[in-house]
Amino acid sequence: MSALRILVPIKRVIDYAVKPRVNKTQTGVETAGVKHSMNPFDELSIEESVRIREKKSAPGGVEDICVISAGPTKAQDVLRTAMAMGADRAIHVEVKEGDDLEPLSVAKLLKAAAEQHKSNLVILGKQSIDDDANQTGQMLAGLLGWPQATQASKVEFGEGDSVTVTREVDGGAETLRAKLPLIITTDLRLNEPRYASLPNIMKAKKKPMEKKTLADFGITAERRLKVLGVTEPPARQGGGKVDDVDGMVAKLKELGAI
Amino acid sequence: MASRYPLTPGITRLARRVPIELGRHHALPRVQRQQSSLARAAATAVRCFSSSRPRQLQQTQQRCANNTKFTSETYPEIKRDGRFATITADHVSYFRGLLGTESAVIDGVTSDSAADDLEPFNSDWMRKYRGHCKLVLKPGSTDEVSKILKYCNDNMLAVVPQGGNTGLVGGSVPVFDEIVINLSRMNQIIDFDEVGGTLVAGAGCILEVADQFLASKGYIFPLDLGAKGSCQIGGNLSTNAGGLRLLRYGSLHGTVLGIEAVLPDGTIVDDLCKLRKNNTGYDLKQLFIGAEGTIGIITKVSIQCPQRSTAQNVAFFGLESFEKVQQAFREAKGQLSEILSAFELMDEGSQALIRDVTKNRKPLDDKYPFYCLIETSGSNADHDSEKLQAFLEDVMEKGIVSDGTLAQDETQIKALWAWREGITEALGHLGGVYKYDVSIPLKEMYQLVEDTRARVDAAGLLGDTDDHPVRAVVGYGHMGDSNLHLNVSTRRFDKRVEEVLEPFIYEWIEKRQGSISAEHGLGLQKKKYIGYSRNPTMVGLMRQIKTFFDPNGIMNPYKYL
């Protein structure tokens, strides 16, 4: 079996524990001064790649784990985190803050990257929690002409480049088998991401990080979609509190419920 | 773009990492559940070991309370004070007339049907103390508190002021038939000065609710503790709670600007000052802070709140010896100085118990005798994380720290904190706990745990099997404040354990001029032991103050002094 060369695309997003706020012009979400971290699904991708190596679950072994992120300079922070978790090297594609790429552009970029770096397995988060598109993995599979297994909850390797993936579907699990090269997108039950240890955080600083631009991959940030407006969901109507049974009965009567 | 709805990744991850806390998610105060970010609610639950009472916990409380011995049986030497009157139907009807609404009075005097409703007010959450209270009053205003106290004072009815009832020394539950005055209805946020940062709130306001209100204004409550989802700020003041932010923001004696309180004779002490500086006469509010409801009831609070830090970082590391913990603390103070907001210590024993209970993934691969948690808070995330990184690299290189991790996102920050804040809850799941909250000079701080463990072991009480009453002797605490929590986790109640522990521990502390109660207070548990930390002159003066304010002794009797 061929040795695995895994490509793991990751994205820097608003930390999922932070409540996002719509900006004043209602064109997007306020990002300035808001805590950002790695897209939680992407942590699963990295964890899975590192586990495949550590557990020696692939017969051909893991030759390379490369993480890639397109975004502002700050995206390098999440790339460092990924390397602290166990990735070997990183590619940062500089994209100006605000010039967000659409899923198709990202997929085109990843196609070029996978070809340049001779990847035979791409593990992506099933979606990023900021725009929830859930498209990039699928588009990438289409562009590359590779098989895809989305929403993976278990990944196993067999003889002759075959990979068995259990995926989460409505009402249960579905098991697929495909051959490398392959696209996998991760779902929550796949694993539990590790904490980056201090020694590894320090080592990660010395791991190589290539700095690229979109042009290096022959891509332009073309926009096909236009955001017309972004609004907060309607505020929940607050409930009332009653002091006792009499109060409740009175309230129900007032509302015409009894 | 607007919808970050699938917050599920976090929730599921949390569910895996902190199952217990998530299980208690329902027990959070309502306000929190309304937050649009479910994930945040789930994550905050990590910090909450008790529930907003009495609604949700009632059932478990009842079940457990039935097994809990009455305090009067556990301590037969405490006798009911004959000067106090017994509550009669006349008293109850007076209170009913006074308070008006049905829900403000829980009456077990004239009918038996309220027995279940009374249970949560009669017992503490650790199930160590249980009283015989038959009447709970929930006043809704200072005026009502005043009238209640005046009536009780005139009729020699003893009372116990009660907040969230999350105390650890039995100060907030009655011993005999004292009337419980619960302040949960006085939970309004009355005023907030957005420029100065002064918050005025009712005593019954839940700490977490106050803190969330402040968060929306960019401020922070200068106090934070594990029970914040249940405890009330009036109770926090009355017990002079310390908690996790003391290192940074100081004690309540400094942050509280004013209080409104009611004396036993009904006098309303209006000292709701909103000024930071006020050098006019004796600072009487200080007497109420930490008085545990023995001289009056705090009804309103005015407190100075600092600006909330926008950037927080948390690091967690393992160390080989207590010697190294001290070195790390010194380095942290030196290198992190103004951004250091917490330095917490946990020993392997305490972490092993959390692992047993929660089955969470541990932050570090290997085991170490000691773990520390460092939190930094500042205004500039980049500046802080650069400082923290440099510090961590330095202590790693010097070999002070053996291994560690740095939280990469908010989830990890909360998960790491759970390893410190979850200890109390984890221990609670495993059975009875003897808790000692002590202050000892840093150098000898952990020696107490080792000496106690050796002593319990020598008595043949400590072991892994059911033959031994003691499961573990563990230590953790606020290193930054020289405050150690020595906990002895037991499988069952055994009189021998207590005999081995006391007065040994108190004498040990006295020899080192430590405090037998750093932040938990005296309550019922430590009333007898005040002499180990205060000399007779001081205790005498305290008694005079008590008599001056409460000549009839109706306020929280049998406790404190």
Does the distance separating the beta carbons of B16 and A130 come in below 8 Å?
Answer: no
The C-alpha atoms of residue B292 and residue B283 are separated, in whole angstroms, by 18
3-state secondary structure at position B439:
strand
Contact status, residue A222 vs residue A214, Cβ threshold 8 Å: no
| A72–B contact, CB cutoff 8 A | no
| B380–A contact, CB cutoff 8 A | no
Q: Among B238, B53, B104, which residue's Cα sits nearest to residue B160?
A: B238
Kind and range of the H or E run holding B472: strand B470-478
Give residues 21 to 40 of B whose Cβ lies within 8 Å of A: 34-37, 39-40
| B433–A contact, CB cutoff 8 A | no
Model pTM score: 0.78
Residue in chain A closest to B365 (alpha carbons) equals A197
Beta-bridge partners for A99: none
Cβ contacts of B3 on chain A, cutoff 8 Å: 132
Cβ contacts of A231 on chain B, cutoff 8 Å: 2
Does the distance separating the beta carbons of B9 and A129 come in below 8 Å?
Answer: yes
The C-alpha atoms of residue B419 and residue B314 are separated, in whole angstroms, by 12
Contact status, residue A177 vs residue A161, Cβ threshold 8 Å: no
Q: Among B102, B98, B97, B100, which residue's Cα sits nearest to residue B117?
A: B102
Does the distance separating the beta carbons of A40 and B411 come in below 8 Å?
Answer: yes
Q: In Å, how far is B27's CA from the nearest CA of chain A?
A: 17
Residue in chain B closest to A78 (alpha carbons) equals B408
Beta-bridge partners for B434: B488
- Phi and psi (nearest 5°) for A228? -85, -35
Under 8 Å CB pairs connecting chains A and B tally to 123
HEC string of B244-295 equals CCHHHHCCHHHHEEEEEEECCCCCEEEECCCCCCCCCCCCCHHHHCCCCCCC
| A151–B contact, CB cutoff 8 A | no
The C-alpha atoms of residue B250 and residue B289 are separated, in whole angstroms, by 14
HEC string of chain A equals CCCEEEEEECCEEECCCCCCCECCCCCCECCCCCCEEECHHHHHHHHHHHHHHHCCCCCCCEEEEEEEEEECCCHHHHHHHHHHHCCCEEEEEECCCCCCCCHHHHHHHHHHHHHHCCCCEEEEECCCCCCCCCCHHHHHHHHHCCCEEEEEEEEEECCCCEEEEEEEECCEEEEEEEECCEEEEECHHHCCCCCCEHHHHHHHCCCCEEEEEHHHHCCCCCCCCCCCCCCCCCCCCCCCCCCCHHHHHHHHHHCCCC
- Candidates B409, B414, B417, partner chain A, best to mutate (most A CBs within 10 A): B409
| B188–A contact, CB cutoff 8 A | no
Does the distance separating the beta carbons of A192 and B17 come in below 8 Å?
Answer: yes
* Structure tokens given for B82: 């004959």
Does the distance separating the beta carbons of A19 and B40 come in below 8 Å?
Answer: yes
What are the pLDDT tens digits along chain B (561 aa)? 333 333 333 333 333 333 333 333 333 333 333 333 333 333 333 333 333 333 333 334 444 445 678 888 888 889 999 999 999 999 999 999 999 877 788 888 888 888 888 989 999 887 889 999 999 999 999 999 999 999 999 999 999 999 999 988 899 999 999 999 999 999 999 999 999 999 999 999 999 999 999 999 999 999 988 888 899 999 999 999 988 888 889 999 999 999 999 999 999 999 999 988 889 999 999 999 999 999 999 999 999 999 998 888 999 999 999 999 999 999 999 999 889 999 999 999 999 999 988 888 889 989 999 999 999 999 888 888 889 888 988 999 899 999 999 998 888 999 999 999 889 888 888 888 888 999 999 999 999 999 999 999 999 999 888 889 999 999 999 988 889 999 999 998 888 898 999 889 999 999 999 999 988 889 988 888 999 999 999 999 999 999 999 999 999 999 998
The C-alpha atoms of residue A78 and residue A203 are separated, in whole angstroms, by 15
Residues 6+ apart with CB under 8 A from A229: A26, A27
Q: Rounded to a whole number, what is the distance in angstroms from the first to the last CA of chain B?
A: 61
Which residue matches tokens 């015989």?
A: B132
Cβ contacts of B2 on chain A, cutoff 8 Å: 20, 22, 29, 230-233
Contact status, residue B358 vs residue B426, Cβ threshold 8 Å: yes
Task: Report how far apart, in Å, the C-alpha atoms of B122 and of each of B63, B87, B118, B357 are.
Answer: 13, 16, 6, 28
Task: Report how far apart, in Å, the C-alpha atoms of B523 and of each of B122, B291, B527, B539 are.
Answer: 15, 10, 6, 15
Residue in chain B closest to A225 (alpha carbons) equals B1
Cβ contacts of A25 on chain B, cutoff 8 Å: none
Q: In Å, how far is A108's CA from the nearest CA of chain B?
A: 21
- Phi and psi (nearest 5°) for B127? 60, 35
Does the distance separating the beta carbons of B101 and A243 come in below 8 Å?
Answer: yes
| A225–B contact, CB cutoff 8 A | no
* Structure tokens given for B403: 């291994």
Does the distance separating the beta carbons of B102 and A245 come in below 8 Å?
Answer: yes
* Strand pairing class (B340-347; B370-378): antiparallel
The C-alpha atoms of residue B279 and residue A236 are separated, in whole angstroms, by 47
Cβ contacts of A127 on chain B, cutoff 8 Å: 6
* Strand pairing class (A62-71; A4-9): parallel
Residue in chain B closest to A194 (alpha carbons) equals B363
- Candidates A197, A225, A231, partner chain B, best to mutate (most B CBs within 10 A): A197
Give the ipTM of the model, two decimals please: 0.77
Q: In Å, how far is A81's CA from the nearest CA of chain B?
A: 7
